Chains A and B, each alone.
Chain A
Amino acid sequence: MNYGKVTEALVEELRGLLGPKNVICDAERMEAYSHDETSAEEYGHMPDVVVTPTSTDQVTAVVRLANRERIPVTPRGAGSGLSGGAIPSLGGISVSLEKMNKGKGLFYAGYPMSLETCFLGGNIAENAGGGKAVKYGVTSRYVLGLELVTPTGEVVWLGGKLSKDVTGYDLTHLIVGSEGTLGIVTTAIIRLIGLPKAKSDLLVLFRTPAEAIACVPEIIARGTIPVSMEFMDKLSVETSCGYLNESLPYEGCGAMLLIEMDGQDAATVDADAERVGDLCMEKGAIEVYMADNRTTQERVWSVRRNIAEAFKVRCPVQSLEDIVVPTASIPDIIPELDRIAAKYGIAIPCYGHAGDGNLHATLVKDPDMALEVWKKAEPEALEELYAAVTKLGGKISGEHGIGLKRKKYMAEFMSPVEMGLIKAIKMAWDPKGIMNPGKLFDLD
């Protein structure tokens, strides 16, 4: 697809539309907009110009201009994405919505692990999940309506303050998770719920990952739905504990589950937690630790939250994966990870949202391995990993999205018919192909 160029005249036009301080074109300041949380070296790309609109009208004006001149538009929230969705991979205009990130509310149950940094708009575009999805579901469940600037520069309201709505196609939820390829969300109506008043965490030690995972469907089947069920294999726990200088007693333990229960009163939550703990012991857990106050809860959760950071310290060269398999198939994926890790001489710590079958298996280069060896091993190991995931009926991404990073693997996980439908939708919404081009798939 041939795109127009960002010329000096066009930048001048943008300045006229948004005011000079909302248009950035010096390289040093634009650098921050050239990458997200994926490796900048591998995926980063500079935009030609960055705009920071302050209103829906300004966003509309920018998109109209881009559509007229056929210039790529890359919407951007906080830049905390993990799939390269906000990277202007074809240059053009980077539309940063940083000045429109406003909200007020109660408890938003979509709780990504990056809660301190991310923006709600980004969560909607990516349909983000997170640690509380077992009980509360992912972002889409909370999006009731949204205002969208379409790729042709029109403003449309989808959905509304309605709990039920079958008036026509559910375009609201077509947009949620569309990775910014169908327009820019400028306002959203989000369902908020009251904060739970009590919570209790269990840290459960198992001899093997298989034993840990086997407990997950059992717990759900017994009817007490935990807020989260996080899985951590031994390598993940050891590395995170080493990084935090924490000493959890994981001798003889091959994997852990971190289970959180919440509710409106402490007595019920405690009773629920005990029942889940009992079940785990019945299923062969070595030990169940309980954390029912802020201090101990912070202690156990910081181990989980710092796994990624701990491995970055060990070796920054890695590939953070986001595979999702049917919950019942998790025990079958673990030996595959071990096999692939051994075959290529890399580490594949595995942790993630066991309650959703969504695991952040991470390929980490051995610090002593030569970079050339890694560069050859990584794609081969990924191919094998994805093949194993497909065989189990799984998919490539549970919550981080396809973006730039995973689009070349889309064909493995999607039938030609489905891919055809997706491309047809894209063409109907965005005939000139300007909105976040190069993400999810390539239009040819």
Chain B
Amino acid sequence: MEILVAIKQVPDTDKVRMDPVTGTMVREGVDTIVNPLDLYAIELAIRLKEQHGGKVTAFTMGPPAADKALKEAIAMGCDAGVLVTDRAFSGSDTWATSYALSRAVAKMGRYDLILAGERATDGDTGQVGPCLAAWLDIPVLTYVGSLESADGGSIVARRLVEEGYQRVRAKMPCLLTVVKEVANPRLPTLRGKKFARQTALAVYGAGDLDADPACLGLKGSPTKVSKIFYPKVTRGGAMVKALDEAGTENAVDELVAFLEARDLIARDVIAREEIAGEGAQR
């Protein structure tokens, strides 16, 4: 099975800072990692390869330094990496990014499956995966939580939807975006890291792609950021604290009083629970 995994390099931080003037993310001085949600896609791809044989190729669009993300994917068990990089791509929104990636996929040749994380932890849109499928005109299954089967030219997947799960069959080639529960990602191995270092990445510039230049980069991006701001938190929270075990009684009383004052619980409910809970382990 030929599997492509779309990954992204994101800042390794809990606090993403935005440049208020340009409306873009501040990436300087922050270490980068593979988007954590893409690791699940990489893991699933490697597991499918282990079951069915074939090859896994990770690909990404980004600055030249994004080769680090591809190398990490290879260290985990991917076989090859494709870096789509060119100044002409800079400033791409999700539309232009997915277009460029679709042209890169067209150049990569035959494939059965494209996998991607459900979204990236920096931009948080979740659009590039489905857009890529649209450009390629292949079926897309989003929020895949598990795969039942993947052979005979079609796959059966369980999608995580609001009411529960949805079991769907799709013809291959198709694109899946996956959620956390699909597979717990493995750690890169020493052997993998060495293999990654020896593996040359394929590098595609704008000139290598059969793409309309007008659709690339900032000028090919319909998204315009008009204003960026941090939302003000207007809700105040109340903390109930117990400094140690001896203080828990008081803290519980305080919390109960707080909830009662807002009619969120009734006093007799608590009393009943206490009686029911007696004898049970605390």
A-B complex is real: yes
Interface on A for B, CB 8 Å cutoff?
Answer: 28, 31-32, 202-203, 246-249, 274, 277-278, 281, 287-291, 293-296, 299-300
Expressed in whole angstroms, the minimum distance between the Cβ of A253 and any Cβ of chain B is 14
7 pairs of A and B residues whose beta carbons are closest in the complex: A288-B190, A289-B187, A277-B190, A247-B184, A293-B33, A290-B188, A31-B246
Bound complex: CA A49 to CA B187 (Å): 53
Within 8 A of A (CB), among B25-75: 31, 33, 36, 75
B166 located at the interface, meaning its Cβ lies under 8 Å from any Cβ of chain A in the complex:
no
Bound complex: CA A225 to CA B36 (Å): 31
Q: Which of B31, B184, B190 has a CB less than 8 Å from the CB of A274?
A: B190
CB–CB A290/B12 < 8 A: no
CB–CB B186/A249 < 8 A: yes
Can you identify 19 A-B contacts, CB atoms within 8 angstroms?
A28-B246, A31-B246, A32-B246, A274-B190, A278-B190, A287-B189, A288-B191, A289-B187, A289-B188, A289-B190, A290-B188, A290-B192, A290-B193, A293-B12, A293-B31, A294-B12, A294-B33, A295-B12, A299-B187
B194 located at the interface, meaning its Cβ lies under 8 Å from any Cβ of chain A in the complex:
yes
Bound complex: CA A28 to CA B184 (Å): 46
Residue in chain B with minimal CB distance to A248: B187
Residues of A within 8 A of B243 (CB): 32
Residue in chain B with minimal CB distance to A247: B184
Question: Given the known A-B contacts A32-B243, A290-B75, are A296 and B190 also in contact in the complex, defined by CB atoms under 8 Å?
Answer: no
Interface on B for A, CB 8 Å cutoff?
Answer: 12, 31, 33, 36, 75, 184, 186-194, 243-244, 246
Q: Which of A31, A32, A300 has a CB less than 8 Å from the CB of B187?
A: A300
Expressed in whole angstroms, the minimum distance between the Cβ of B39 and any Cβ of chain A is 9
CB–CB A288/B186 < 8 A: no
CB–CB B187/A296 < 8 A: yes
Expressed in whole angstroms, the minimum distance between the Cβ of B20 and any Cβ of chain A is 26
Q: Which of A246, A290, A293, A300 has a CB less than 8 Å from the CB of B190?
A: A290
CB–CB B33/A289 < 8 A: no
CB–CB A202/B190 < 8 A: yes
Residue in chain B with minimal CB distance to A32: B244
Q: Which of B33, B75, B244 has a CB less than 8 Å from the CB of A295?
A: B33
Residues of A within 8 A of B188 (CB): 289-291, 296
A-B contact count (CB 8 A): 49
Residue in chain B with minimal CB distance to A276: B190
Expressed in whole angstroms, the minimum distance between the Cβ of A205 and any Cβ of chain B is 10
Expressed in whole angstroms, the minimum distance between the Cβ of A55 and any Cβ of chain B is 24
Expressed in whole angstroms, the minimum distance between the Cβ of A302 and any Cβ of chain B is 13
Residues of B within 8 A of A278 (CB): 190
Residues of A within 8 A of B184 (CB): 246-247
Question: Given the known A-B contacts A28-B246, A295-B12, are A288 and B33 also in contact in the complex, defined by CB atoms under 8 Å?
Answer: no
Q: Which of B12, B189, B244 has a CB less than 8 Å from the CB of A289?
A: B189
CB–CB A291/B33 < 8 A: no
Bound complex: CA A289 to CA B192 (Å): 9
Bound complex: CA A290 to CA B188 (Å): 6
Residues of B within 8 A of A202 (CB): 190
Expressed in whole angstroms, the minimum distance between the Cβ of B186 and any Cβ of chain A is 7
Question: Given the known A-B contacts A28-B246, A32-B243, are A288 and B189 also in contact in the complex, defined by CB atoms under 8 Å?
Answer: yes
Residues of A within 8 A of B192 (CB): 290
Given A289-B188, A291-B187, A300-B187, 12 more A-B residue pairs with CB atoms under 8 Å apart are A28-B246, A32-B246, A203-B187, A249-B186, A274-B194, A281-B190, A287-B189, A288-B189, A289-B186, A289-B189, A291-B188, A293-B31
Residues of B within 8 A of A277 (CB): 190
Bound complex: CA A417 to CA B31 (Å): 57
Bound complex: CA A28 to CA B193 (Å): 57
Bound complex: CA A274 to CA B188 (Å): 13
Residues of B within 8 A of A247 (CB): 184
Bound complex: CA A248 to CA B184 (Å): 9
CB–CB A290/B246 < 8 A: no
Residue in chain B with minimal CB distance to A27: B246
For A293, A294, A299, the residue with the greatest tally of chain B CB atoms inside 10 Å of its CB is: A293
Bound complex: CA A295 to CA B244 (Å): 31
Residues of B within 8 A of A249 (CB): 186
Residues of B within 8 A of A31 (CB): 244, 246
Residues of A within 8 A of B193 (CB): 274, 290
Residues of B within 8 A of A274 (CB): 190, 193-194
Bound complex: CA A300 to CA B185 (Å): 13
CB–CB B33/A290 < 8 A: no
Residues of B within 8 A of A288 (CB): 189-191
Bound complex: CA A59 to CA B193 (Å): 56
Residues of B within 8 A of A294 (CB): 12, 31, 33
Bound complex: CA A296 to CA B33 (Å): 10
CB–CB B31/A290 < 8 A: no
Residue in chain B with minimal CB distance to A29: B246
Residues of B within 8 A of A299 (CB): 187
Residues of A within 8 A of B187 (CB): 203, 248, 289-291, 296, 299-300
